């Protein structure tokens, strides 16, 4: 690889220096990657204030994604998401409330950002039934929610794509936000690759103000590599404060291996990878069509996810996952209602064949409703108050009416069922039980 970070690390390792600096392995060890695992030595630059090779590599990523600025993170989208919330508060227009209007299927990192920054989230809920991981809010629903408020929020926050592959109409939602002078923040953790489709379906190209991508989820990047993107509609002042925002939530010792991975990805994305992506998307689309023709209920959504709607087919997602494992296929996620598989240009044709063979002979049964997104319970405390209160774990049958202390969530998909500071409702506790949870974190009573 020829990226500036990769070049520096390789040249340093090849020079055979006496490593009288961190890390303690001194470039040797059983993993084989230790020689490239360095820290902020002379010439290596510093992620918290880059002036050399990291700055140059980020500029390459920004050009590839068409952003105003792109910043690297070695703490995943969780770090970037918290930084987005911080920037939205710090740069909020006069007259707006220090609140964020968010889709209810937000990742638990959003809740922790709210607790750390003392933000009271306001929830967007879709009209009608929605599966637990989805929250398909439309532009008219967003307009209605904004009209009901006395003061506009600091920002609107949505997750797109969601864990089940559903994509929001980001362009329409961005239009609503831009007309009212409100930034749109998009958790695009599962959609970094959308930029490289034709046409692009990336939130930046659809009008998002700020956006975070988990590079490692869909691009050839090591786990933990992520991007914070500033769009053309980013709030004034965000560019100057973004590095500070990331610093607040990241380690002062970022992984140099992850940085090299992000750097190397630039060369990959500038090469044949986009073409291979489009070819793979076509193959996956063909697989979906063949499975659907055989009675397998495929949920529509983003092109590189194959989601079996087990509930619609009268099956159990966990049982289907076991069928795949017997064929040597490990799925991304399975619960009672859904089975989620993720593909990339590095998926082999044999991988698709195994999936098709494992689901051969699927026999649809009576459809049943999927677990829904429970409505919010009564808000008693702010996320910060609840998370910083003494708390304890209790069995689910003892949690009704108690105040949720920590995000009630299975991970994956890390979408809270009950939200920190709300009272547990019977519907929320039933949903937790269906997802295999046995205890709830509650604020300790006097």
Domain ranges of the chain: 39-269, 274-358, 383-443
Q: What is the pLDDT of residue 409?
A: 80
**Above 60 in pLDDT, residue 128?**
yes
Q: What is the pLDDT of residue 110?
A: 96
Q: What is the mean pLDDT of residues 104-120?
A: 95
Task: Say which range, 81-90, 112-121, 405-414, has the weakest mean pLDDT.
Answer: 405-414
And the tokens for 303? 């092109």
Instruction: With cut-offs at 50, 70 and 90, classify the pLDDT of residue 124.
Output: very high
**Above 80 in pLDDT, residue 95?**
yes
428 vs 374: CA distance, rounded Å: 6
Mean pLDDT rounded to a whole number for the chain: 95
Instruction: With cut-offs at 50, 70 and 90, classify the pLDDT of residue 23.
Output: very high
Q: What is the mean pLDDT of residues 192-201?
A: 98
Q: What is the mean pLDDT of residues 308-318?
A: 96
The domain at 274-358 falls in which architecture?
Answer: Alpha-Beta Complex (3.90)
Q: Which run of H or E residues covers position 67?
A: none
**Above 60 in pLDDT, residue 106?**
yes
**104 and 125 Cβ atoms separated by less than 8 Å:** yes
Instruction: With cut-offs at 50, 70 and 90, classify the pLDDT of residue 1.
Output: low
Reduced to 3 states, what is the DSSP secondary structure of residue 14? helix
Residue-wise pLDDT for 48-77, tens only, equals 999 999 999 999 999 999 999 999 999 999
* Parallel, antiparallel or unpaired: strands 120-124 and 153-159: unpaired
Share of the chain above pLDDT 90, in %: 92
**Above 70 in pLDDT, residue 177?**
yes
Q: What is the pLDDT of residue 446?
A: 79
Q: What is the mean pLDDT of residues 289-303?
A: 97
375 vs 360: CA distance, rounded Å: 37
Q: What is the pLDDT of residue 407?
A: 82
The DSSP bridge partners found for residue 228 are 71, 212
Q: What is the pLDDT of residue 405?
A: 94
**Above 80 in pLDDT, residue 301?**
yes
345 vs 364: CA distance, rounded Å: 31
What is the assigned CATH class of domain 383-443? alpha beta
Reduced to 3 states, what is the DSSP secondary structure of residue 211? strand
**Above 80 in pLDDT, residue 410?**
no
Note the maximum CA span of the chain: 68
Question: In CATH, what number does 39-269 get?
Answer: 3.40.640.10
Reduced to 3 states, what is the DSSP secondary structure of residue 110? helix
**Above 80 in pLDDT, residue 221?**
yes
DSSP 8-class letter at 274: H
């Amino acid at each position: 690889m020829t990226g500036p970070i990769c070049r520096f690390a390789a040249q340093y390792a090849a020079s055979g220096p006496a490593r009288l600096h961190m890390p303690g392995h001194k470039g040797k060890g059983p993993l084989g990657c230790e020689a490239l695992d360095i820290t902020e030595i002379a010439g290596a630059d510093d992620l918290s204030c880059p002036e050399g090779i990291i700055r140059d590599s980020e500029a390459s990523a920004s050009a590839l994604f068409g952003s105003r600025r792109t910043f690297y993170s070695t703490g995943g989208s969780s770090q970037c998401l918290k930084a987005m919330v911080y920037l939205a508060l710090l740069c909020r227009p006069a007259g707006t409330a220090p609140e964020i209007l968010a889709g209810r299927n937000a990742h638990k990192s959003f809740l922790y950002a709210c607790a750390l920054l003392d933000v009271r989230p306001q929830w967007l809920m879709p009209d009608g039934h929605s599966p637990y991981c989805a929250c398909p809010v439309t532009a008219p629903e967003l307009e209605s929610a904004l009209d009901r408020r006395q003061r506009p929020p600091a920002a609107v926050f949505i997750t797109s794509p969601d864990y089940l592959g559903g994509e929001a109409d980001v362009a329409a939602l961005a239009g609503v936000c831009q007309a009212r002078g409100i930034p749109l923040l998009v958790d695009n953790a599962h959609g970094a690759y959308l930029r490289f489709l034709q046409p692009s379906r990336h939130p930046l190209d659809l009008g998002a103000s700020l956006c975070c991508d988990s590079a490692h989820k869909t691009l050839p990047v090591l786990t933990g590599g992520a991007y914070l993107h500033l769009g053309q509609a980013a709030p004034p002042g965000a560019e100057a404060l973004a590095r500070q925002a990331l610093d607040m939530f990241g380690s002062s010792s970022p992984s140099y291996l992850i940085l090299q991975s992000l750097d190397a990805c630039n060369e990959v994305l500038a090469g044949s990878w986009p073409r291979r992506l489009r070819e793979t998307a076509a193959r996956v689309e063909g697989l979906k069509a063949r499975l659907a023709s055989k009675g397998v209920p495929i949920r529509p959504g983003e092109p590189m996810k194959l989601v079996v709607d087990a509930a619609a087919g009268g099956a159990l997602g966990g049982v289907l996952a076991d069928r795949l494992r017997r064929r040597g296929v490990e799925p991304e996620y399975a619960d009672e209602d859904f089975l989620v598989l993720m593909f990339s240009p590095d998926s082999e044709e044999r991988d698709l064949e195994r999936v098709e063979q494992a689901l051969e002979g699927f026999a649809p049964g009576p459809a049943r409703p999927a677990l829904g997104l429970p409505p919010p319970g009564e808000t008693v405390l702010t996320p910060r108050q609840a998370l910083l209160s003494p708390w304890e774990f209790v069995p689910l049958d003892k949690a009704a009416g108690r105040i949720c202390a920590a995000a009630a969530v299975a991970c994956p998909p890390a979408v809270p069922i009950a939200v920190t500071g709300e009272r547990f409702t019977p519907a929320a506790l039933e949903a937790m039980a269906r997802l295999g949870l046995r205890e709830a974190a509650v604020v300790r009573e006097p």
